[in-house]
Amino acid sequence: MITVLLADDQPLVRAGLRALLDTEPDLTVVGEAADGAEAVRLAGELRPDVVLMDVRMPELDGLAATRALTAAGLRVVVVTTFDLDEYVYEALRSGASGFLVKDAEPAEIRHAVRVAARRDALLSPGVTRRLIEEFTARPGAPDDRRLAALTGREREVLSRVGRRHTNAQIGEELFMSPLTVKTHVNRMMAKLSVHDRAQLVVIA
């Protein structure tokens, strides 16, 4: 069973998300917070597998709350009305495992929770497209020196992680098992000091 904490200042949104998740046999909402400070407090008490976090909230905004929660090892998916680049980039820098807008299909939101619980990452298609456009538009970004720590094989895996390929897809392309791919991904996360696959995507 995947446990979820909802953090949104609108009761109607929280009720909708609860109804959406509690109907699934493997998902259950264990708590609700109306602001970022309450989300941090409840997450510390309940230790949910995933927190669904709004951005604009009183007391403590969702991005600051996300930083606090991911620093404590919790998984956060940002779900917001505001599909703004500044929110997307800050959410990823804060360690969020995913970013969705509230007009996402119900199946997308449920899928995002399951993906985050597996310690993978998920971005809505529009967000992924803009990230790619942003980084490819840069004339010549300097090489990240941390990449020097990676083996050639790990770099091959990283480039495919950056294209949002699954472990199974990477395994097929590089002729290795998905379990071996997962091992490479975990080693890269340790070497690059990142929390999850979303941050690997940014580095890639």
Residue 70: CB partners within 8 Å, gap ≥ 6?
76, 94, 95, 96, 195
The letter for the amino acid at 23 is T
Cβ proximity of 6 and 29 under 8 Å: yes
What local confidence, expressed as pLDDT, does residue 195 receive?
77
- Bridge partner residues of 98 (DSSP): 77, 122
> Tell me, what's the pLDDT at 59?
84
The residue to which tokens 């109306």 are assigned: 34
Reported confidence tier of residue 90, pLDDT bands at 50, 70, 90: confident
> Mean pLDDT over residues 93-110, rounded?
85
Is the model's pLDDT at 136 over the cut of 70? Answer: no
pLDDT tens by residue, 149-184: 888 899 899 988 888 788 999 999 899 999 999 999
Which CATH number is associated with domain 144-203? 1.10.10.10
Q: What is the pLDDT, as a whole number, of residue 131?
A: 65
Q: Identify the pLDDT of residue 52.
A: 96
**Residue 143 confidence (pLDDT) above 60:** no
Given the candidates 3.40.50.2300, 3.40.366.10, 3.40.50.720, 2.60.40.10, the CATH classification of the domain at 2-137 is 3.40.50.2300
What phi, psi does 137 have (nearest 5°)? -75, -15
| pLDDT number for residue 91 | 80
pLDDT score, position 133: 64
Domain ranges of the chain: 2-137, 144-203
Residue 64, C-beta contacts closer than 8 angstroms, at least 6 positions apart? 36
Q: How confident is the model at residue 97 (pLDDT cuts 50, 70, 90)?
A: confident
Q: What is the pLDDT of residue 37?
A: 94
